[in-house]
């Protein structure tokens, strides 16, 4: 849905997307309504805050330039642009959502809403949805005053946008979001566990190195103590006390006798 603001008033327009026929194109529009993707510059790709930059009475309203706002920009969730999915649905009535482009296979985020049948666009623009509520608002806006370049003199802004789901679909989507959230939490835990394990391994390595150093120091200290307390045996090099000092005296005593 779009909550459209124009001249101080706001009205809601609700769309149905043909995701069974053009799933890729429909998903692009849905995701841009929700703002779930980032663009190449890191900014969120979102229709919220964008404008309808071109309005041609009795033809269509064009919007979706989420990067420049003047019809020269746009970006899809698949990259700058993506290919035409198919042309199975024709421009047979008013209220159809169709991709704006600048030639074959140049779809981005820009789209237009028809206010009448436009068969000359068949085979050139991909129809991917339709207005199911708020067509009176679209018809009124299609008659707004514009400049010579088809730009509304009073801005038509997408004040808010999003997705409307029935109760069962909403429940399933909430469960899916909860599952993804839990997966992210589990992934975070796994990474923390890996980090903790790496820290334990590093700590064990440091402790082992410290133990080896301590053992080496202990051995060195013990060897030093042994050398001081029990010096090496040098008895072969010693001279017995008296073995030479008094030898001369002994000789003199014998001569006197």
Residue-wise pLDDT for 68-85, tens only, equals 999 999 999 999 999 999
Over residues 30-56, the mean pLDDT reads 97
Q: Which of 6, 46, 91, 125 does the annotation list as catalytic?
A: 125
Give the best-scoring range by mean pLDDT among 157-161, 177-181, 240-244.
Answer: 157-161
Res 175 pLDDT > 90? no
Where does residue 161 rank: exposed (0-12), middle (13-18), buried (19+ CB within 10 A)?
buried
Q: Which of 12, 34, 37, 59 does the annotation list as catalytic?
A: 59
Global pTM value: 0.67
Q: Respond yes or no: is residue 59 known to be catalytic.
A: yes
Res 243 pLDDT > 60? no
Q: Is residue 128 within 8 Å of residue 97, measured between CB atoms?
A: yes
Q: Does residue 55 or residue 209 have the better pLDDT?
A: 55
Q: Considering the chain, what is the average pLDDT of its residues?
A: 86
- Outline where DSSP puts E strands in the chain: 2-6, 9-17, 37-38, 44-45, 54-56, 60-63, 96-99, 111-114, 127-133, 156-161
Place 169 in a pLDDT band, splitting at 50, 70 and 90.
low
Q: Which of 4, 18, 30, 62 does the annotation list as catalytic?
A: 62
Q: Which of 15, 18, 29, 112 does the annotation list as catalytic?
A: 112
Q: Does residue 97 or residue 180 have the better pLDDT?
A: 97
Place 97 in a pLDDT band, splitting at 50, 70 and 90.
very high
Res 115 pLDDT > 80? yes
Low-confidence winner among 23-37, 101-115, 217-231 (lowest mean pLDDT): 217-231
Q: Respond yes or no: is residue 112 known to be catalytic.
A: yes
CA distance 168 to 249: 128
Helix (H, G, I), strand (E, B) or coil at 148: coil
Q: Looking at residue 219, what is its pLDDT?
A: 76
Please choose, from the candidates 33, 35, 38, 40, the residue with its C-alpha nearest in 3D space to the C-alpha of residue 16.
33
DSSP per residue over 50-80, as a string?
Answer: -B--EEETTTEEEE---SSSSSS---BTTBS
Q: Does residue 251 or residue 14 have the better pLDDT?
A: 14
Q: Which of 54, 91, 94, 130 does the annotation list as catalytic?
A: 54
Q: Is residue 39 within 8 Å of residue 188, measured between CB atoms?
A: no
Exposure class string for 201-232: b at 16+ Cβ within 10 A, else e: eeeeeeeeeeeeeeeeeeeeeeeeeeeeeeee
Q: Is residue 129 within 8 Å of residue 97, measured between CB atoms?
A: yes
Q: Which of 28, 101, 107, 110 does the annotation list as catalytic?
A: 101
Res 151 pLDDT > 80? yes
């Amino acid at each position: 849905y779009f909550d459209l603001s124009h001249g101080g008033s706001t009205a809601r327009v609700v769309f149905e997307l043909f995701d069974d026929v053009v799933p890729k194109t429909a998903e692009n529009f849905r995701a841009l309504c929700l703002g779930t993707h980032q663009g190449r510059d890191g900014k969120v790709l979102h229709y919220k805050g964008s404008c309808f930059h071109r309005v041609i009475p009795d033809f269509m309203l064009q919007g979706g330039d989420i990067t420049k706002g003047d019809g020269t920009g746009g970006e899809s969730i698949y990259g700058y642009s993506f290919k035409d999915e198919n042309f199975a649905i024709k421009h047979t009535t008013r209220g159809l959502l169709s991709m704006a482009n600048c030639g074959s296979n140049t779809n981005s985020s820009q789209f237009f809403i028809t206010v009448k049948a436009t068969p000359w666009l068949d085979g050139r623009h991909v129809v991917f949805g339709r207005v199911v509520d708020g067509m009176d608002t679209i018809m009124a806006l299609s008659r707004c005053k514009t400049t010579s370049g088809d730009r509304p003199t009073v801005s038509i802004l997408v004040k808010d946008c999003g997705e409307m789901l029935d109760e069962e679909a909403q429940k399933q989507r909430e469960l899916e979001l909860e599952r993804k959230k839990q997966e992210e939490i589990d992934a975070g835990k796994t990474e923390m566990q890996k980090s903790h394990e790496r820290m334990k391994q590093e700590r064990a390595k440091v402790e082992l190195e410290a133990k080896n150093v301590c053992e080496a120091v202990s051995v060195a200290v013990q060897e030093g103590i042994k050398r001081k307390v029990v010096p090496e045996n040098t008895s072969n090099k010693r001279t017995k006390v008296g073995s030479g000092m008094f030898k001369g005296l002994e000789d003199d005593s014998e001569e006197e006798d």
